[in-house]
Amino acid sequence: MNVLERLDNRLPLSEDEKMILDSVQALARKEIASRAAEVDESGEFPWDNVHAINQLGLNAMFVPEEYGGAPLSFTCYLACVREISKACASTGIIWATNFHAIKPLIEFGNHEQKSQFLPKIAEGALAALAITESSAGSDATGMKTSFRPDGDNIVINGSKIFITNGDVADQYL
């Protein structure tokens, strides 16, 4: 047993979290890994992998219970990201982006915002964090893009150079 395996055996996971991690490992091994080479070669978005993750209800793990989630520990989330990423790095970053995109909403959003957006994420929606700009990289304090309401629409003025899940997301932060 190598040092990483020994560390894995010491992860402070509850029994429920261990069962979830076992399910994620099985999914990663049986379904996600078998599609990884094709995803890499084709460059196509791995919808089958996202649907499989959603069948396990994994997005709910980082959404508060009052908004339709079933929150688990950050350790469990990281262990799941690692298992998915070991099977397919593209799928791992796609799923991890959901957490990174909605974490500011969970931490700083008001009840109305959380009620509108978080249940959809818990049900499997994809989120994107629209932060990277040529003049700021991923430095949110240096962003120049702005938005303003215009009736039933929002006018966005600026540019982004990279948005993970950007072309397929259901929600953007």
Q: In this predicted model, what pLDDT tens digit does every residue of 116-145 receive, in sequence order?
A: 999 999 999 999 888 777 877 777 778 788
Distances (CA, A) of 115 to 49, 119, 149, 166: 27, 7, 20, 22
What is the structure's pLDDT at 165?
A: 77
Helix-strand-coil split of the chain, %, nearest 5: 60, 10, 30
* Rounded Cα distance, 40 and 147, in Å: 35
Do 172 and 127 form a contact (C-beta atoms < 8 A)?
A: yes
Count how many domains the chain has: 1
For the chain, what is the mean pLDDT? Answer: 90
Q: Containing domain of residue 94, as a range?
A: 3-172
* Rounded Cα distance, 169 and 163, in Å: 10
Q: Which residue reads 């089958």 in tokens? A: 48
Q: Would you say the pTM of this structure is higher than 0.85?
A: no
Pairing relationship of beta strands 153-157 and 146-150 according to DSSP bridges: antiparallel
How long a stretch of residues is the chain? 173
Say if residue 132 is exposed, middle or buried (CB neighbours under 10 Å; 0-12, 13-18, 19+): middle
Low-confidence residues of the chain: pLDDT under 70: 1, 4
**What's the CATH code of the domain at 131?**
1.10.540.10
